[in-house]
Amino acid sequence: MRRREFIRLIGGTAAAWPVVAKAQQPVDIPRIGVVRFGPATAYVDRVEALRSGLRQNGYIEGKNIIIEFRWAETIHQLSEMAADLVRMNVDVIFATSSTEVEAARQATKTIPIVFATHADPVGVGHVASLARPGGNITGLSMLLTELDAKELETLKEALPRLERAGVLFTSTAPSYAPTVRALEDASRTLGIDLVMVSAQGVEDFEGAFSTMSRQQVGGFIAVATPPTLSHRERLAGLALRHQLPSMFGTRENVEAGGLISYAPDLRDLTRRAAAYIDKILKGTKPADLPVEQASKYQLVINLKTAKALDLEIPPSLLARADEVIE
């Protein structure tokens, strides 16, 4: 072999060494920790919405992204599972509502936390402001505090003679206090007495409905929380059994047999949260990502449930409905 050819061969081989070495290095795949209050079976659509959003941003689960799911049955388990994700040192924690965000917030001040359906991130102190969240938390908000007031107004429109309404709430939800204040303000304007009934989980539903029946409420609002969503079939069944018209903050509750819902598209908000995760993984700080607000709300009415309650929905309300379930 000629000297010039030998030098060319050695040079080409040496140039190839870094490429080979780089190919042999383990790829650091980012990990998302998902913590949720409720059974996995209740959130199949939301999980698929998250995966869909990630795919739209170029992430394929198991290929260039890993998702670590943690499903909690109680508030205490929720805190433990959020802490477990922190110990794993995941890159981002997806904690969709205020309840999950609070558990994640208590577990870490450094790992980015993204929410999708937060009730009132400013009101409960999870972000400094919508425009400048500060800290390690950001995402999308459904503005439940303002939404609940509109729900009470809509329930009054469906039940013109309504004078007393039940409010089914979860006191462990961080958004509990501002939501109750908003409902109390709205009730005074509408001339409705409120009967506040707490239910921390499905085991409290039976007693809550017995209380509302004794108090002779004409209908009730179920404040959107993980327990009211994850046990929506049970909730709808009890409402029918007690012959109580119901207003919900998620369309899934009406699909399960509830009477009316007025809410944003929570699946769409979950899908859109993936863009926040993408930006954070690419280096943007949560503090620099403004919180987005839901801009479109849908009125859904279940006429099958109305018939079972022997209730006639006013034509004006039906005309405004985005969807009517026959």
Nearest to 96 by CA among 265, 266, 303, 233: 266
pLDDT of residue 2: 44
Q: Are 259 and 246 in contact (CB under 8 A)?
A: yes
- pLDDT tens-digit series, residues 54-82: 999 999 999 999 999 999 988 889 999 99
Judging by DSSP bridges, how do beta strands 66-72 and 92-94 pair with one another?
unpaired
Domains and CATH numbers, the chain: 31-142+265-296 (3.40.50.2300), 144-264+298-325 (3.40.50.2300)
**Count, residues in the chain:** 326
Q: How many helices (H) and strands (E) does the chain have?
A: 13, 13
Nearest to 268 by CA among 294, 242, 236, 299: 294
| Residue linked to tokens 């007025």 | 262
Q: Are 129 and 163 in contact (CB under 8 A)?
A: no
Report whether pLDDT(100) > 70.
yes
| Contacts of 77 by beta carbon, 8 Å cutoff, 6+ apart | none
If you average pLDDT over every residue of the chain, what do you get?
A: 90
> Of the ranges 22-36, 242-256, 259-273, which one carries the lowest mean pLDDT score?
22-36
Q: Are 163 and 187 in contact (CB under 8 A)?
A: no
* Rounded-to-integer distance, Cα 298 and Cα 114, Å: 24
- pLDDT tens-digit series, residues 178-237: 888 899 999 999 999 999 999 888 889 999 999 999 999 999 999 988 889 989 999 999
